[in-house]
Amino acid sequence: MKLPRRVLRVQTGTVVSPWGVPARELKVLGVPLAGRQDAVLARLGLSSAGEVSAEEVGREPDTLYLDDDLDLAAGTLRSWLKRAGPGARMAIAERPRRLGELEVEPQAWYRDGEVGAEELPGSEPVRLLGVRWGSGERGVRVEPLGFTGKGTLPGPFGDGQTMEWAIDVRTAVTVRHWVHLLRATYAGIGVGIWEQLVLSPWTSFYSWLRWPLHPRTARIGRRCQVHPTAVLEGCILEDDVHIGAYSVLRGCWVGQGTHIEDHVTARLSAIGPRAHVANYSMVNLSSVGERSSIGHIGAQASVVGEGCFVSTFATLHDLNLRGNVRVRMGEKLLDTGVPFLGVALGNGVRLGAGVTIASGREVPNGVHVVAEGAVGRIPADLPAGEYTAVAGRLVPSAGAE
């Protein structure tokens, strides 16, 4: 496999709300995107030699240019490099094709070894990613790899419809919105489970020897306290994690020092370092940030920032009964294509008992909502402080500074 002479990170300038930070600083499984990129490069014997602007991409033909808002797996980059060379751009095909997400990469077609930009009947769709070798004028396709399946989609919107699912370990996600951060989280967990079960099955077997009462598919770190009645399936636990009695975790990543209490249910979620999940809580398809405490009975498809507090009787809506969920992206409201989606909480957000946040909404950093009421409109420039929900709007609380 030929490797480029050096690697340069491209400054995209992507800033993601509600956190208001560059995409490269957002964390997936507890690690910023920039750090995850460095880890991927290191596994292939590469390292970043510096940064360039978007205008400088392609000036050096034997240099790999990697956008700083892209999260990808080592297997994805390795597969591409085996077939690529100077003048190549990464094109990735997914099986099944993505549905219900804000598309951010250019759509292209693939047929008979060729990749093109315009529509072509009978061709397979691919996405062109921000990985280029030199000028990146021709697309080189990455084959999907993983588990796929089909089933019936339940619920009021999908009765009788066929649903396809996939755990793809050759993943690549451009993170320009909190919905993309959710997708990167799912992809990161899937890759971790694949490497644990397929590439390094002895790690699961070793965990089983240490914790014989738990399934062999869990990788458990050092000094963890896992109750014998807890169920762990396809999970990765870092060091010093506490799992309480009768809790059930499936396909989850749990960060160092996190405390999960009794009767908690979590599926395909990332729960960050030193976080806290209260008794009888449910966390599905979500990402919970570092040092956050969540007691919500049913948080689904949501992103909780760092240092947040969500009361047991606060509600994060995850379903729009009137149609598809729309989310803010810049100055526009965009249709996500699905009626099921949660909310995004900025860093330091606090939601008191009785507060309801509508699906698809963003709560900016440092906002505290302390009284009952359903919140449907949240200004993007809402300053930090304490607010009360009145007629669906947030107004400063009386006496709040």
User: 175-190, pLDDT tens digit by residue?
Assistant: 999 999 999 999 999 8
pLDDT for 47 equals: 96
* Nearest residue to 229 (alpha-carbon basis) of 210, 251, 249, 209: 249
**Cβ atoms of residues 124 and 111 within 8 Å:** yes
Tokens of 243: 């799992």
Res. 398: pLDDT tops 80: no
Give the full edge-to-edge strand order of the sheet including 393-396: 225-226, 242-243, 259-260, 276-277, 293-294, 309-310, 350-351, 367-369, 385-390, 393-396
Confidence of residue 399 (pLDDT cuts 50, 70, 90): low
The reported pLDDT for the residue numbered 247 is 96
Measure the CA–CA gap between 386 and 401, rounded to whole angstroms. Answer: 8
**pLDDT-based confidence at 216, cuts 50/70/90?**
low
Is 50 in contact with 8 (CB distance < 8 Å)? Answer: yes
C-alpha to C-alpha distance for 279 and 183, rounded to whole angstroms: 27
Q: How confident is the model at residue 338 (pLDDT cuts 50, 70, 90)?
A: confident
Judged against a pLDDT cut of 70, whether residue 204 lies above it is answered with no
Residue 286 has pLDDT above 90, yes or no: yes
The domain 6-176 having CATH identifier 3.90.550: the answer here is yes
Of 25 and 329, more confident: 25
Q: Which of 33-42, 47-56, 300-309, 367-376 has the lowest mean pLDDT?
A: 367-376
The SS3 call for residue 42 is helix
Same CATH fold assignment for domains 6-176 and 180-396: no
Query: What angle in degrees, to the nearest 10, is found between the helix axes of 33-43 and 74-83?
Result: 50
pLDDT at site 1: 81
Whether the per-residue pLDDT at 207 is higher than 70: the answer is: no
The mean pLDDT of 100-121, rounded to a whole number, is 82
pLDDT at 182: 95
pLDDT single digits (tens) 354-379: 888 999 999 999 999 886 556 777 88
Predicted confidence (pLDDT) at residue 239 exceeds the cutoff of 90: yes
- The predicted model gives 115-144 an average pLDDT of 89
Stretch among 60-64, 150-154, 317-321, 324-328 having the lowest mean pLDDT: 150-154
Q: Is the pLDDT confidence value at 257 over 80?
A: yes
Euclidean distance between the first and the last CA atom of the chain, given in angstroms as a whole number: 61
96, pLDDT greater than 80:
no
Strands 88-92 and 124-133, sheet pairing? antiparallel
Burial class (CB in 10 A: 0-12, 13-18, 19+), 263: middle
Domain segments of the chain as ranges: 6-176, 180-396
Question: Residue 198 gets which letter from DSSP?
Answer: I
Q: What's the CA gap between 53 and 8, in Å, rounded?
A: 10
Residue with tokens 């588990």: 147
Does pTM surpass 0.75? yes
| Right CATH for 180-396 from 3.30.2450, 3.30.70, 2.160.10, 1.10.3470 | 2.160.10
Q: Which of 56-65, 90-99, 268-277 has the least mean pLDDT?
A: 90-99
